[in-house]
Amino acid sequence: MSEDSPIQIDALTETEVLYLDFDPLLLQQENGCPYRMRVTANLLREMGKGALFLNQKMRILAQNRLRNRIKVYLQGLPIASNGEIRLEMGRGEMADYLCVDRSALSRELGRMQKEGILTYQGQVVHILDSEFLSA
């Protein structure tokens, strides 16, 4: 049974589309393909990553203050023992991800630096106030 997808993708160049029927992967079959479990595991892993990404994004966008959005974003990144966090994106990309204006993001990071919460240089942030991320 075929259903129309609510997702539409426009290709910028000539593209070949591969349609996959996932029913055989999800249905129990005695004489299935030996790679079925690997493909199923990979599919579920990618779906899980997507769900985690969307959950994190919802947590960020639910914050009513920019400082709280920054905090939730930083909490989701690995922190080195010296308090260093390497950002996954540049300032413009981070502003887009947090759904804020780039200048507002820069202004708030500057305030946080003046208040002794963090310092930043490019894509490296040092957390100075360990309480900031724990609350």
In this predicted structure, the answer to whether residue 106 has a pLDDT above a threshold of 50 is yes
Which range among 11-15, 104-108, 124-128 shows the weakest confidence by mean pLDDT? 11-15
Q: Work out the angle between the directed axes of helices 66-75 and 36-61 (0-180°, nearest 10).
A: 150
pLDDT band of 1, cuts 50, 70, 90: very low
Calculate mean pLDDT across residues 58-72: 95
Nearest to 118 by CA among 84, 86, 79, 95: 84
**Global pTM exceeds 0.75:** no
Q: What is the pLDDT of residue 42?
A: 86
Q: What is the pLDDT of residue 26?
A: 67
Which range among 57-61, 78-82, 97-101 shows the weakest confidence by mean pLDDT? 78-82
- Who's near 16: CB < 8 A, 6+ residues apart? none
SS3 (DSSP) at 5: coil
